[in-house]
A and B are shown apart, each in its own frame.
Chain A
């Protein structure tokens, strides 16, 4: 796959970072914190935990980044690390999780199987955006406003003139459709 501008920039920033340029990490954080926070919020359902997770993700990059071989896949790498960090935090922090830790661990295995190679080797974000672009307008708008803009169901309902039930329904349809497409491309399990 040809390198996108994003990847070229990542590669360059990682190289500068490893060479001791302390400004590079600031840029890397700026670029990736937003998407990673979105991911972590979705995984954890809690802003402060999500912040912890993203901080820890960058910390692991600082510790282990020097060993990365394939720098062009930086965001997928971040996402993978964030996924692990989120799982750890869920185990530790969530009240429900704490109560039922034993049970959760049993179930965790198959449901959180490692993402496919496809996720790691390419720019999954592009495929997600393509999949979202193919959605019917109402679904696309609800998905965008909820998952990307972070609005509440109520705000979305007001903006799009929908009932809350409808917002929920469209979001469910949208997520299912995108998940189906990604699954067919091996991006989510």
Chain B
């Protein structure tokens, strides 16, 4: 072909309508001729622009690519990650973005993103994300008519997904992934009101976070059920989770609000136990703020504090999820910063090992003396996200390492750091639970630290921790990591009593009915109280447990469905009990390595005080409970209003060490604004 003929053939070449021989000839000519190449480029651009105008029907992305995008969308619901060590350069993207000058319909800050371009290469991204998409497919079904994804019921009917109409979070707190910049840290910990929102408006959307459905405990008549029994819960994950939703200008789904976890998030001034007792009780009763006809009883437990110098040696195995879904500044990088806080406090008596799990599980650091901090930090720094998740193999290995390095009389604990996005491979969730229950017998305890949002599997995390004789905390900021791993390290790591159960017996001459506020998934059968084979919650050194009962005094009507009087039975005679006691709190617990329980009983009389005499601790706990009830849209909220919640919280601020209560007051303000806008 002549040069002219080739030029005339360029369009045919561009649209793939040349023979093999012609193609070879044209490509040879192109290689030698810059002007020809420029012409071809121009032609391709024109043909491209014209082609693009052809409307829909230009073909579809392959299903794999599409699924990968859908999964990436879940991860990218948050703003693009800042530049950080772990972000692999985007091979294809970076060069082109810098090479071609163009008009971007974007803000100037775009330039930062051009440099960072977080995420893996296309291939990596695709393979990693497909597994996530497959997982999603199991949980959701695309409803063509409604044009949205619908949750599928899981096998356990009690556990279904959050209300699809509940708002989803859309942003995240700014946090330096390395956690080193003070300025960023302050920003991350700023009161929620100060956190700027990426978007002004939150749509009625939802996401893949899982929350077990909770129905508020009802009122019980003392005549029907004189005993109320429940297992303690020192988990506080729900609070940080609620805070995350509010910081993103979204009201949390009701299932995410567990009132006992909100109440237990705060430190209350309770007296230390005397003598050898592992804990003390702090009981208080006043008029119920949201129903003046009712009484509100606060039951506080204070776990014995253990001084740092008295702390036993520790054998910790960090089990770290490094799957693709952890590739987010508030996940793996925050895990690293959080664990470094813990490592910083280790001594020669302590051992740390690192196990990672993703596509394959592996030992990233064998048990290492607490003095070799640099070695531990280096191993942490080396962790990179990638691959799917195989939780059970990782858990197996972590327990194995913990058992191999078991310290008798010390703290032996596996600390699982994950976003809960398990893809547990061959094994079912039930098998995973069985595995953890079995491992519990080795004397190794489990802590679960939940990270990140978007697919945070709250109910699953808590259930794993419970089965493993452990505790669960949700860590959304470095400040939260400090609270859990430094300020409350002893409580997180050292269990002082296990299988702690509370049974309250009400005096029918004083109490017509009662309602336990929160602890819905902790309620036990009365007979289980004395059954030492029944597992219950653990309490750590210095840990506190607070429970609230709303009491209907004798003579008043018990809300919630009056049943017809029974035909054949008489209601039990109310004994003319001379006792002024309202109730008796019975506690059962086992020593951390014991099999037989101890018991104490503490009675509470009601001096009949109104709210005036209430302690700060009482008022504040009442405020948190009312806050939770409002967020849960509880039918038992009575006369509770956002105003009342604010009044109680400000009235109960007290000393507020650490400023946690002040932060709560700010959260109330934010929740109120959002709730009232609706």
Contact = CB atoms under 8 A, between A and B. Distances in A.
Interface of A: 15-27, 29-31, 33-43, 45, 51-52, 54-56, 58-60, 62-64, 66-70, 73, 76-77, 79-80, 83-89, 91-92, 96, 99-100, 103-104, 106-108, 110-112, 114-115, 117, 119-120, 124-126, 128-129, 132, 143-144, 146-150, 152-153, 168, 171-172, 175, 178-179, 182, 187-189
B53 A20 contact: no
A148 B11 contact: no
Contact of B203 (A20, A45, A69, A112): A20
A86 B99 CA distance: 13
A22 B15 contact: no
B95 A29 contact: no
Contact of B51 (A33, A39, A76, A96): A39
A21 B38 contact: no
A172 B205 contact: no
A96 B30 contact: yes
A132 B45 contact: no
A27 B73 CA distance: 12
B199 A19 contact: yes
A25 B69 contact: yes
Contacts of B68: 55
A92 B31 CA distance: 16
A89 B117 CA distance: 16
25 contacts: A15-B199, A16-B205, A20-B207, A23-B149, A25-B70, A26-B142, A40-B48, A56-B92, A64-B113, A67-B107, A67-B109, A69-B105, A80-B103, A83-B48, A87-B99, A92-B92, A103-B31, A107-B41, A111-B42, A125-B52, A128-B52, A147-B51, A168-B17, A175-B11, A187-B49
A112 B148 CA distance: 40
Nearest to A63: B80
B203 A37 contact: no
B52 A153 contact: no
Interface string B59-94: 111100110111011101101100000000000110
Nearest to B129: A59
Nearest to B168: A20
Contacts of B80: 63-64, 66-67
A163 to B, nearest CB: 13
Contacts of A64: 80, 106, 110, 113
- Select the residue from A34, A36, A115 with max chain B CB neighbours within 10 A: A34
Nearest to A56: B122
Contacts of B97: 84
Report, nearest first, the 4 A-B pairs whose CB atoms are least far apart. A148-B54, A34-B58, A21-B205, A88-B96
B404 interface: no
Interface in B1-41: 8, 11-12, 14-17, 27, 30-31, 34-35, 37-39, 41
A35 B53 contact: yes
B147 interface: yes
B385 interface: no
A88 B122 CA distance: 13
Contacts of A108: 41
Interface residues of B, number: 89
A39 B12 contact: no
B69 A62 contact: yes
A31 B56 contact: yes
B59 A147 contact: no
B17 A152 contact: yes
B31 A96 contact: yes
A111 to B, nearest CB: 4
A79 B49 contact: yes
B119 interface: yes
A31 B56 CA distance: 7
A117 B65 CA distance: 31
A106 to B, nearest CB: 6
A188 B50 CA distance: 10
Interface string B298-323: 00000000000000000000000000
Contact of B38 (A15, A22, A111): A111
B125 A70 contact: no
B61 A54 contact: yes
Contacts of B57: 34, 148
B37 A69 contact: no
B259 to A, nearest CB: 25
B55 interface: yes
Contacts of B16: 45
B100 A84 contact: yes
Contacts of B113: 63-64, 67
B170 A18 contact: yes
Given A18-B170, A92-B92, A172-B11, A35 B58 contact: yes
B48 A178 contact: no
A27 to B, nearest CB: 8
A23 B204 CA distance: 11
Nearest to B37: A107
Nearest to B107: A67
B95 A171 contact: no
Interface in B393-412: none
A88 B92 CA distance: 6
Contact of A120 (B60, B96, B105, B142): B105
Contact of A33 (B14, B60, B169): B60
B382 to A, nearest CB: 25
Contacts of B45: 43, 83, 112, 188-189
A22 B49 contact: no
A23 B58 contact: no
A42 B93 CA distance: 20
A171 B74 CA distance: 43
B327 to A, nearest CB: 12
B69 A58 contact: yes
B68 to A, nearest CB: 7
A104 B33 CA distance: 10
Contact of B69 (A29, A96, A106, A182): A29
Contacts of B170: 18-20
B276 interface: no
A35 B47 CA distance: 12
B11 A168 contact: yes
Given A76-B105, A88-B95, A149-B54, 10 more contacts: A19-B203, A20-B167, A33-B59, A35-B58, A55-B69, A100-B31, A103-B34, A107-B34, A114-B100, A175-B43
Contact of A69 (B27, B65, B106, B169): B106
